[in-house]
């Protein structure tokens, strides 16, 4: 469910009218009405403690707008606050009226809308001789006629409902419909009738029950439980609409309800009592594109227009604006549908839950042991288990596995991949064709069916009519072997049409077409449009995949069918030749193509590993992974782990790996309130851990892995233990390890223990989650005689003064560490003093030290200054984001002024420095200091501060090469001072003036100076107004004059890193 984009009334002032006791009453009435536990995801205390304004924000940000509007009015009425209820309704009516007026004419100005609205009424009244008389005829003047039409309608809907079931699925209908009916406002008895018409969109993947639920709503509607009197419901199939030519809206309805033809004009006069079910929006085909329908609307019942135009007019509420609309669609058509519908409520249909699927297996098998084994086999394949939300997939899995179990076969390999499951299901329905006449018949029918499936995939069609069969030279009698086995079925919703048992079956058969032998092609009708389908290269291309989401699974199945054993099974069953020569083409297109770049992103990596895993061909994987050196993985479910572990074992050249594990993979340590829930979560981990163990074994086979980054990851105690054990026991050459934002918090400590003593490890980053007790184990690592750690980054570590003291003493012992980054660690004065004492120690080998955002004070600057006087190794020091002020800078400059001080780079980003601090730095720079890099970004130095710095730049004793003045309030008035300094300076290579408003005049002055003088400057960063052609001309001229000068536009966000950070840490 989506949060409210915008309510139809202003909720905050209404809630602020309540006294405290009334607000409490409102909250107590609110929770029982919550749909799908929206408010359960918000801490109870947050709701209970919220005032009127805060409660309004919670509801608007977390709940659907339709729900908030209806429930609010309902509660106001229950509390007898009709004054607030009426205010809300009045505001809603205003919006509703505005919406309807906009629908009346999308292009004309408001002053003409009322006139058009009356004209529309006149047009509609022309459909009936006497509208009032027609209404009365339905209300009671002619009860016999009314009863007749209602009976006809009910019977028609009931027939549609009965035809909805296919063998083995009926027991799931109640499960699916009951779960979601409460989410649909007009189906929920708790809900107040909305003040404006509803448009509800049911969206979800193939076969999860969208159409079933829509028909159940139709049934309930016609039973007079949802509409008031004379409820009428119409079913519109988008596949059927796509085949219709020109017609009027009333003719369109007459075709779907011929028995009501005489009464349609009267029925349409009471639009508020009408329900239109618009099914399978993804099947709608419009030559000019669905988006074009927005600009081609019709309000006249009698006008002949394309059927798609009439449907668009209904969706945009140009036709029958007060009717209720219920639309079903698959996710791939949601973007187009959003353009068509007005104020929709989106309800995602997820199909059978895990418990529902388990219950299905128990019913199908009868024997509990068999059922549970089959269920866990399906669950072991996350892709297959997700598909199992559709009852048809559950039926296929159960049918296939039960047959194997009954015959004493091992069903394990069948669920290993989705290809193996679908292949086994298909082949199990047919006895092997021994070259008989039946085999020949099956062969030709299979090929025609594959071609039909392929054409449907490329055109994103899953419902086929007689025209489609005719084009392929297929007769209905040819389909009987597949019809009798439910592989293809007569459509229950579109007369004369056919559809595959499930979309996955269609995609599997589409993949099969690419490996069928050439002898099966000869019987195809000449010039068959089916041969217009894309080749393998198009099938696997990114461009086609983005346009058509149906293609990716076909690619997976095609990789799966290149497995020699599977291809043979398909060929033997249907008596046809199959060829796996496509294997090399697949490999070239998926892995070898520069256009695809298979491992360039997380998404591409996921797709490539999925394809390779589906093949279960180790040699194919070795060929594909031979040149892969870097991989970025995101684990969302067990399939991701399975795919990665299968492929990475054969990736001997792998050097770098980035790993992210999303929340929910391991549930063992999630907060739970009930012991039963804890047991379920632990059981989930036991299911996942075998796959995790298999993945971790890749450390044994990947000897070239030198970089490992685990970030934003939610692990469990068990998964951390397994990974650490593998790292400890495996012979690997890891050099750089990054651990960022990992849960649980003690994982950091366990990883450090695992890496301790590894001679190859040189770089270690530990960041996030406020690690506790981290320093003691780090100190052990630093003191270890085999420690070769050169770079240590420790961010946000909770430590005591005593623990910081241990770190300081460890730095005196360790002789390998040269870079220490302690960003975002709170260093009390005492701890900072100990660190500075360490810097003065002759055996401290630190060269680069970052104390960014460590809450350092002026006292620390005095200690640092004395350390800089003695230390002859430290070359880089960052004190960014510490409130040092001008006095702190003065103390630092005292130490920096000593000749023995070797510091080359000083970062004082955002340190509350003004012109006074610049004066001290200017004096230092003119004393032949070793300082070559200075970052003063985000300090308000102003014109005076810039003058001091420019005096230093003019001095030949100044050795400064890089100066960063990002966001230092430098204006165009300062440009003359800066230009003068640049004209005389011969050492500056980089100057950053980003986020300073120099304007055209300031930039012109700088450019003129650079043209006149031979400058050493090689990089200049400016805040550039891209819309000013004069500035663009200036920059072009200066770069033509000095091609070695790079002028960068200030488009970076230094929120996390100051501009000079890339020069600071290697």
CA distance 565 to 479: 27
Q: What is the CA radius of gyration of the chain?
A: 36
pLDDT of residue 41: 59
Distance CA 974, CA 979 (A): 9
Give the mean pLDDT per block of 10 residues along the chain (1066 residues): 59 88 85 56 74 86 74 83 83 48 31 32 31 38 50 61 50 62 69 66 91 84 58 85 87 78 79 89 84 80 87 90 92 89 86 90 92 94 93 94 93 94 93 54 84 90 85 78 88 81 96 74 41 79 89 95 92 85 85 64 89 94 90 93 93 93 77 46 71 91 92 93 90 90 89 86 88 83 91 89 92 94 91 93 94 91 94 95 96 94 96 96 95 96 95 96 94 92 94 93 93 90 91 91 90 69 70
Dump pLDDT digits (tens) for 834-854.
Answer: 999 999 999 999 999 999 999
pLDDT value, residue 173: 59
Phi, psi values for residue 234, rounded to 5°: -125, 140
Spatial distance between the Cα atoms of 927 and 921, rounded to a whole number of angstroms: 10
Asked if residue 898 lies in contact with residue 926, where contact means CB atoms within 8 angstroms, the answer is no
CB 234 within 8 A of CB 261: no
Distance in angstroms (rounded) separating the CA atoms of residues 691 and 881:
44
pLDDT of 506: 96
CA distance linking residue 23 with residue 13, whole number of Å: 13
Name the helix (H) or strand (E) containing 539: helix 536-539
Cβ contact 448:472 at 8 Å? yes
Beta bridge partners of 657: 631, 708
Q: Is 770 helix (H, G, I), strand (E, B) or coil?
A: strand
- The pLDDT score that the predictor gives to residue 99 is 35
What is the predicted pLDDT for the residue at 103?
A: 32
What one-character DSSP code corresponds to residue 201? E
Nearest-10 Cα torsion for 47, 50, 54, 59: 20
Asked if 273 contacts 230 with a C-beta cutoff of 8 angstroms, the reply is: yes
Compute the distance between CA of residue 908 and CA of residue 836 in angstroms, rounded to an integer: 18
* Residue 407 CB coordination number (10 Å): 9
The string of DSSP codes covering 829-896 is HHHHHHHHHHHTSTT----EEE-TTS---HHHHHHHHHHHHH-SS--EEE-TT---HHHHHHHHHHHH
User: Do β-strands 488-490 and 497-500 pair in parallel, antiparallel, or remain unpaired?
Assistant: antiparallel
Query: Side by side, which strands form the sheet with 199-203?
Result: 232-237, 274-279, 324-329, 199-203, 344-348
Give me the pLDDT at residue 990, please. 96
Neighbours of 118 (CB within 10 A): 11
Q: What angle do CA 693, 711, 597 make, to 5 degrees?
A: 85
């Amino acid at each position: 469910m989506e949060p409210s984009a915008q309510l139809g009334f202003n909720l905050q002032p209404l809630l602020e009218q309540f006294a405290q006791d009334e607000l409490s009453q409102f909250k107590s009435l609110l929770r029982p009405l919550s749909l799908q536990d929206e408010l359960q995801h918000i801490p109870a205390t947050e709701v209970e403690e919220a005032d009127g304004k805060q409660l309004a924000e919670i509801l608007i940000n977390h709940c659907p707008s339709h729900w908030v509007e209806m429930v609010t009015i309902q509660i106001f009425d229950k509390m007898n606050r009709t004054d607030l209820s009426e205010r809300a309704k009045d505001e809603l009516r205003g919006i509703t009226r505005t919406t309807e007026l906009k629908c009346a004419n999308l292009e004309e100005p408001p002053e003409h809308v009322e006139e058009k609205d009356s004209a529309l009424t006149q047009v509609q009244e022309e459909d009936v001789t006497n509208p009032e008389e027609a209404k009365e005829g339905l209300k009671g003047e002619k009860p016999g006629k009314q009863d007749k039409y209602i009976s006809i309608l009910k019977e028609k809907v009931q027939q549609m409902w009965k035809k909805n079931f296919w063998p083995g699925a009926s027991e799931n209908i109640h499960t699916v419909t009951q779960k979601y009916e409460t989410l649909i406002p007009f189906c929920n008895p708790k809900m107040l009738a909305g003040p404006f018409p509803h448009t509800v969109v049911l969206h979800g993947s193939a076969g999860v029950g969208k159409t079933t639920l829509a028909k159940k709503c139709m049934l309930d509607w016609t039973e007079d439980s949802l509409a008031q009197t004379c409820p009428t419901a119409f079913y519109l199939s988008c596949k059927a609409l796509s085949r219709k030519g020109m017609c009027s809206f009333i003719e369109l309805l007459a075709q779907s309800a011929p028995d009501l033809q005489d009464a349609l004009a009267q029925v349409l006069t009471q639009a508020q009592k009408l329900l239109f079910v618009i099914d399978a929006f993804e099947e709608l085909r419009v030559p000019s594109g669905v988006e074009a329908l927005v600009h081609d609307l019709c309000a006249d019942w009698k006008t002949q227009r394309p059927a798609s135009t009439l449907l668009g007019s209904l969706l945009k509420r140009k036709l029958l604006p007060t009717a209720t609309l219920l639309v079903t669609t698959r996710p791939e058509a949601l973007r187009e549908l959003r353009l068509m519908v007005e104020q929709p409520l989106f309800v995602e249909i997820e199909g059978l839950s895990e418990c529902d699927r388990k219950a299905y297996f128990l019913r199908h098998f009868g024997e509990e042991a068999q059922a549970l084994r089959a269920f866990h086999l399906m669950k072991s394949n996350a892709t297959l288990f997700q598909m199992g939300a559709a009852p048809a997939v559950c039926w296929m899995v159960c049918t296939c596995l039960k047959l194997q179990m009954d015959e004493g076969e091992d069903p394990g390999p069948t669920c290993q991949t989705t290809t193996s499951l679908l292949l086994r299901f298909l082949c199990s329905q047919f006895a092997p064709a021994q070259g008989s006449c039946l085999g020949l018949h099956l062969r030709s029918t299979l090929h025609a069916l594959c071609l039909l499936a392929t054409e449907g995939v490329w055109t994103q069609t899953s419902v086929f009519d007689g025209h489609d069969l005719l084009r392929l030279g297929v007769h209905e009698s040819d389909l009987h072997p597949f019809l009798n086995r439910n592989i293809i079925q007569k459509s229950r919703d579109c007369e004369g049409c056919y559809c595959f048992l499930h979309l996955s079956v269609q995609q599997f058969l589409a993949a099969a077409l690419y490996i069928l032998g050439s002898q099966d092609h000869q019987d195809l009708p000449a010039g068959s449009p089916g041969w217009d389908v894309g080749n393998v290269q198009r099938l696997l291309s990114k461009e086609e995949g983005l346009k058509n989401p149906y293609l990716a699974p076909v690619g997976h199945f095609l990789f799966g069918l290149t497995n020699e054993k599977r291809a043979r099974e398909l060929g033997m069953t249907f008596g046809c030749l199959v060829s796996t020569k496509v294997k090399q083409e697949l490999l070239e297109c998926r892995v070898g193509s520069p256009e695809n770049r298979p491992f360039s992103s997380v998404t591409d990596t996921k797709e490539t590993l999925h394809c390779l895993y589906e093949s279960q061909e180790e040699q194919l994987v070795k060929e594909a992974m031979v040149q892969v050196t870097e991989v970025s993985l995101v684990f969302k479910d067990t399939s991701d782990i399975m795919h990665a572990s299968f492929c990475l074992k054969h990736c001997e050249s792998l050097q770098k790996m980035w790993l992210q594990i999303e929340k929910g993979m391991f549930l063992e340590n999630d907060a739970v309130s009930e012991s039963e829930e804890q047991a379920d979560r632990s059981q989930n981990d036991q299911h996942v851990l075998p796959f995790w163990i298999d993945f971790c074994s890749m450390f044994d086979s990947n000897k070239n892995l030198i970089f490992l980054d685990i970030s934003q990851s939610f692990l469990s105690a068990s998964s951390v233990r397994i990974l650490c054990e593998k790292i400890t026991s495996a012979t690997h050459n890891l050099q750089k390890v990054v651990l960022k934002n990992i849960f649980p918090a003690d994982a950091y400590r366990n990883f450090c223990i695992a890496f301790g003593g590894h001679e190859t490890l040189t770089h270690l980053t530990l960041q996030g989650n406020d690690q506790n007790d981290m320093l003691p184990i780090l100190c052990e690592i630093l003191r270890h005689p085999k420690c070769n750690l050169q770079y240590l980054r420790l961010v946000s570590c909770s430590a005591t003064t005593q623990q910081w003291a241990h770190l300081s003493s460890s730095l005196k012992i360790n002789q390998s560490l040269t870079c220490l980054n302690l960003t975002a660690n709170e260093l009390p004065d005492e701890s900072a003093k100990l660190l500075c004492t360490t810097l003065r120690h002759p055996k401290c080998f630190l060269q680069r030290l970052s104390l960014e955002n460590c809450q350092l004070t002026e006292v620390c600057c005095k200690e640092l200054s004395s350390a800089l006087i003695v230390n002859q190794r430290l070359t880089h020091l960052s004190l960014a984001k510490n409130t040092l002020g001008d006095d702190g800078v003065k103390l630092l400059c005292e130490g920096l002024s000593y000749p023995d001080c070797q510091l080359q780079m000083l970062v004082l980003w955002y340190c509350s420095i003004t012109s006074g601090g610049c004066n001290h730095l200017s004096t230092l720079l003119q004393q032949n200091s070793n300082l070559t890099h200075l970052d003063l970004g985000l300090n308000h130095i102003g014109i005076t501060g810039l003058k001091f710095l420019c005096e230093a730049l003019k001095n030949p004793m100044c050795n400064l090469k890089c100066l960063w003045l990002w966001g230092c309030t430098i204006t165009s008035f300062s440009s003359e001072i800066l230009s003068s300094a640049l004209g005389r300076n011969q050492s500056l290579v980089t100057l950053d003036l980003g986020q300073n408003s120099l304007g055209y005049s300031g930039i012109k002055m700088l450019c003129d100076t650079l043209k006149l003088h031979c400058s050493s400057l090689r990089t200049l960063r400016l805040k550039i107004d891209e819309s000013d052609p004069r500035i663009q001309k200036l920059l072009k001229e200066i770069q033509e004059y000095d091609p070695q000068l790079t002028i960068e536009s200030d488009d970076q966000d230094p929120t996390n890193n100051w501009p000079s950070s890339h020069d600071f840490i290697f």
